[in-house]
Amino acid sequence: MTTPTAPIGPAAPDGMQRPVTIAVAGTHSTGKTTFLARLAHRLRQRHLEVATVADLGEQALRTGLGILHSHTYASTLWIMARGISHEVATWPHVDVLLVDRPVPDALGYYLAALDHRGESPDPVALGHLRTLAAQHSCHYDLTFRTTLDPTAPLGTDKPRDTDSRYRRLADHHVGQVLVELAIPHRLLPAHGHDSAITHATDFALDQLGAARQRSDHDTDHDTDYDRPKPANSAPASSSRTSG
């Protein structure tokens, strides 16, 4: 079912077909990237075109913006906006989009940073970020949230924040944002990756199959509507006889 130039998936509000989108949120070093790499491999084994939007924290740091417990409104907005643009850029090209840290995740990290520093958010700025997170989240078809095991060691593939208190705060606030914004999600514990990969793969295939059926039905309907009528199918004219 590979259609790299015209994927058949859920429809965006303007009718454009977008990929089935699976997102994973959660605090750092809880297996998000590893899970998504395994899921991408499984989906490609099913002959699907897959793209991944990766964690943007390091890019934000390189631009001079604060991340983790130094998150600000500006860094949070940058990560949200850049993530959305990266996601939308994949829409014409792939069957399935995997998102490592969806937009609400950035909001959770910002709230955790404020909590860590003992600061209160500006209500207007926070309202802006909440609205952005809530409105864009309709494009996530399946969302997982990892669960924190405080005994699990931090990953060594890149520099990690070693502040265990902030890690716990991020876990709490990311989960709270998903609840407060009424974003449906499934918990993803470290021991549940195998079953979650099976569920996500079946979900993507089901969504693509349903979208394919809708597309075929619409095509058949348009064909019937546009098909020329036979020459002898013109409506009969009524005749009046005089008496």
Task: Write out pLDDT tens, residues 142-189.
Answer: 999 999 988 777 766 655 677 889 999 999 999 999 999 999 999 999
- Mean pLDDT: which of 114-118, 159-163, 210-214 is highest? 114-118
Q: Please give the residue that has the higher pLDDT: either 185 or 59.
A: 185
Q: Is the pLDDT of residue 113 over 60?
A: yes
Stretch 51-57: mean pLDDT, rounded? 90
pLDDT bin (cut points 50, 70, 90) of residue 136 is very high
DSSP bridge pairs for 142: 22
Q: Do the beta carbons of residue 102 and residue 140 sit within 8 Å?
A: yes
Record the tokens describing residue 223, joined without a space.
């064909």
Report the pLDDT averaged over residues 198-203: 97
Mark 40-73 as b/e (b = at least 16 C-beta within 10 Å).
Answer: bebbeeeebbbbbbbbbbeebeeeebebbbebeb
* 164 closest CA partner among 112, 105, 205: 112
Model pLDDT, residue 158: 59
What pLDDT sits at residue 222? Answer: 47
**Structural fold of domain 20-26+42-155+162-205:** Rossmann fold (3.40.50)
Contact at 8 Å (CB) between 148 and 171? yes
What does the chain come to in residues? 243
What pLDDT is stored for residue 147 in this prediction? 95
Using the predicted structure, report yes or no on whether residue 32 has a pLDDT greater than 80. yes
Higher pLDDT pick, 214 / 73: 73
- Residue 21, pLDDT > 60, answer yes
pLDDT of 218 over the 70 cut: no
Distance of CA 85 to the CA centre of its chain: 12
What are the C-alpha distances in Å from 190 to residues 34, 50, 187?
10, 23, 10
Q: Which residue has the higher pLDDT, 6 or 241?
A: 6
The radius of gyration of the chain's CA atoms, rounded to the nearest angstrom, is 24
Is 117 a residue whose pLDDT tops 50?
yes
What are the residue ranges spanned by the domains of the chain? Answer: 20-26+42-155+162-205
AA letter at 8: I
Range from 104-108, 202-206, 238-242 carrying the lowest mean pLDDT = 238-242
* Confidence band of 214 (pLDDT split at 50, 70, 90): low
Per-residue CA distances from 242 to 16, 102, 181, 236 (Å) = 59, 78, 75, 19
Per-residue pLDDT reduced to its tens digit, 85-95: 999 999 999 99
DSSP for 112-177, please give it.
Answer: HHHHHHT----HHHHHHHHHHHHHHGGG-SEEEEE---TTSPPPSSS-----HHHHHHHHHHHHHH
